[in-house]
Structure 1
Amino acid sequence: MIGYASRTGTRRNLDALRRAGWRLMVSAKGPLRPERFRYALDNGAWTAFQRASRSTCPRSRRRFLCSGRGPTGSCCPTSWRAASLRCASLDWLDALRNRPELRDAQYLLAVQNGMEPPHVAAVVGPEIGIFVGGDTPWKLATMATWARLAHERGAICHVGRVNTARRIRLCAAAGADSFDGSGVSRFASALPPLDLARRQPDIEAWLAGQRP
């Protein structure tokens, strides 16, 4: 699986993340500083929702539209969270699809408590994957369903706010393609066990191939 860490300005942590092959999750609410990493954008709507802000959608859209590619020229996978399905799937998607600099982007539609596959099935496809948000119990209970839906439609499935080795292993078991968390951004010492959990399926597959 691909691991994304919340953006940090701490050099030691950035160096550790780069060596381990992680990417950054950059919030549209903060400075656009991907630190020469491959990165994804989170529009910050969940934070705005918690703060009862109504300005996130248009402000974040402007950030997406001016972000373009990363400074290394590598593909910038782009994700969004939105307060409503309409804001995400119609307004945002139409605007982003018209930007040539985002031609290679992978868009992710956030799902959260109360949503079910029929709510988004018509939108999900090779261009539009699924970002599993919501609270922790709902996320853990449903992420395998969302991963299955995404893969059936040729899309990817990403899980948000994953900060323990146990949850990383659960994401792998559910079939998620990637996840993000903030723990490794704050503490470099947290990276080794989390990175081991991230790579565990690959290690197990390699060992299985070595057995007679």
Structure 2
Amino acid sequence: MRRGQIAAILSPAAGNQLPDGCLFAADNAVYGGSYPGDQAYRRWLGSLAPHADRALWVTAPDVVGDHLATLARSRPWLEEIRAMGFPAALCAQNGMEWDHSSDLWEMFDVLFLAGTTQWKMSTAAAELVRVALDHGKPVHVGRVNSRRRLRYSQYLGASSADGTYLTYGPDLLLPRVLEWTRELATHPALFDYEQPDDEAELWSKARRRS
């Protein structure tokens, strides 16, 4: 992280500390069911605000799999996150591809591709990423736990991704992840990507490797 090869990802549920001098992103932990509540999340972000110049993005609270509910929940938070000095990330959920609101793309700074796995891997989500890039919004992809999923994220045009893969054995798996990133840097995915494994198989592989 201090060499800039990877960034830190923090969440209020994990309780991990921000390493000195490293880029970071802050996730709300809604997907894992560990969102601490609005007031606790606000206090936690406030503790990170002095380091906002190193933040890649901060996610507004969302509703998994439901774009309209997410937008209603996230809208006031996106303004508040920006006011703290952070780039505000909207979690893209199922159905966002149908939202043609005139002000949608002005509400946030980064598109976090979330949603159910089936939707996230759909052509609709891929098109949504293209629209985000057309609007000048960086894209982050969540739940990326394999080389193929990382290559697919690059193929879509995402500039960053995260997953829990390293938690199954950092000493063993970190060299593998760094190898993936070096490979993608030297051999970008254009049209030769492989269709990612489904999520159940990814988790099974990760457990076996741990």
User: What is the alpha-carbon distance in structure 1 between the residues aligned to residue 128 and residue 117 of structure 2?
Assistant: 15
Look up the SS of the partner of 1:64 in the other structure: helix
Q: Which has the higher contact order (CA 8 A, sep 6+)?
A: 1
Look up the SS of the partner of 1:45 in the other structure: coil
- The one-letter amino acid of 1:28's match is P
User: What is the alpha-carbon distance in structure 2 between the residues aligned to residue 161 and residue 120 of structure 1?
Assistant: 27
User: What is the alpha-carbon distance in structure 2 between the residues aligned to residue 75 and residue 139 of structure 1?
Assistant: 28
Counterparts of residues 24-103 of structure 1 (less than 5 Å)? 24-31=8-15, 33-36=17-20, 37-48=22-33, 56-70=37-51, 74-80=53-59, 81-83=61-63, 84-89=70-75, 91-99=76-84, 102=85
User: What is the alpha-carbon distance in structure 2 between the residues aligned to residue 113 and residue 126 of structure 1?
Assistant: 18
Counterparts of residues 127-146 of structure 1 (less than 5 Å)? 128-141=109-122, 142-146=124-128
> In the TM superposition, what is the alpha-carbon distance from 1:159 to its structure 2 partner?
0.4
Larger deviation, residues 138-147 vs 152-161:
138-147
Number of paired residues? Answer: 178
* 1:161 counterpart = 2:147: no
* 8 Å CA contact 1:106, 1:129 repeated in 2: yes
User: What is the alpha-carbon distance in structure 2 between the residues aligned to residue 119 and residue 166 of structure 1?
Assistant: 31
* 1:118 counterpart = 2:99: yes
> In the TM superposition, what is the alpha-carbon distance from 1:176 to its structure 2 partner?
0.8
Considering only aligned residues, what root-mean-square deviation do their CA atoms show, in Å?
Answer: 2.7
> In the TM superposition, what is the alpha-carbon distance from 1:193 to its structure 2 partner?
3.0
- The one-letter amino acid of 1:94's match is E
Change (3 A) 1:74 1:122: closer
When normalised by structure 2's length, the TM-score is 0.72
- The one-letter amino acid of 1:76's match is A
* 8 Å CA contact 1:143, 1:171 repeated in 2: no
> In the TM superposition, what is the alpha-carbon distance from 1:143 to its structure 2 partner?
4.0
Change (3 A) 1:147 1:195: farther
- The one-letter amino acid of 1:197's match is W
Change (3 A) 1:143 1:20: farther
User: What is the alpha-carbon distance in structure 2 between the residues aligned to residue 74 and residue 185 of structure 1?
Assistant: 27
* 8 Å CA contact 2:144, 2:162 repeated in 1: yes
User: What is the alpha-carbon distance in structure 1 between the residues aligned to residue 96 and residue 127 of structure 2?
Assistant: 12
User: What is the alpha-carbon distance in structure 1 between the residues aligned to residue 4 and residue 167 of structure 2?
Assistant: 13
Look up the SS of the partner of 1:79 in the other structure: strand
Q: Name stretches of at least 5 consecutive residues in structure 1 with no aligned partner.
A: 1-16, 206-212
> In the TM superposition, what is the alpha-carbon distance from 1:76 to its structure 2 partner?
1.5
Q: Match for residue 109 of structure 1? A: 90
Look up the SS of the partner of 2:55 in the other structure: coil
- The one-letter amino acid of 2:13's match is K
Among 179, 182, 190, the alignment partner of 1:196 is 179
- Deviations 1:90-123 (CA, angstroms, capped at 9, x unpaired): x212222333xx1xx3211001223325267733
Question: Percent same amino acid among aligned pairs?
Answer: 25
Q: Name stretches of at least 5 consecutive residues in structure 2 with no aligned partner.
A: 64-69, 189-210
- The one-letter amino acid of 2:54's match is C
